[in-house]
Amino acid sequence: MKPLDSFIIPFRGLKPGIHRYDVQIDKSFFEHFEQGEIREGEISVHIDLEKDDRMLLFQFTINGEVSLPCDRCTEPITIPIRGKERLIVKFGDEFLELDEEIQIIPESETQFDTSPFLYEYIHLLLPMKRVHAEDDQGNSSCNPDMLAKLNELLQNRTQDPRWEKLKDVGRKT
């Protein structure tokens, strides 16, 4: 069995109604998506599939955590991932993406691969800013050596003279 086979849902032959699936996402899942920034994580996904004669409605409940480099110090940081997503799959003549929530697949299909959608949903659940939390005293818990190096670079930085000239542009009228 291939690592992503558990994310392929065979729907042909299922009776209309709700069908439940639970899948686990780990490092092997992320290895198949080389372009992404996530390399490690442990995530549980509960899938409710509501099968109808003309469509499939997927409800995903995603819970877990991933490890990413901190935006400030580049040391690994654990980010909690929690969310719910919905995907509507309708049957038609060919593969087509109507929008981020509605997909069309050929009527001849017998199964649906949820892995690319789960991969996207996980990335969309990531916070924009990923830094280590502050301790009880309000100090950063980032790598202190890296923080010292960043402070040193900030203090030794020289201002580009072109920026100074641009400040005067708005003042002259």
Give pTM, 2 decimals. 0.80
pLDDT bracket for residue 160 (50, 70, 90): confident
Backbone angles phi, psi at 167, to 5 degrees: -60, -30
Does residue 46 carry a pLDDT above 90? Answer: yes
What residues contact residue 72 under an 8 Å CB cut-off, 6+ apart?
Answer: 131, 132, 140, 142, 146, 147, 150
Which DSSP string corresponds to 78-110?
EEEEEEEEEEEEEEESS-EEEETTEEEEETT--
Q: Mind listing the pLDDT tens digit for each residue in 125-140?
A: 999 999 888 878 877 7
DSSP state of 13: T
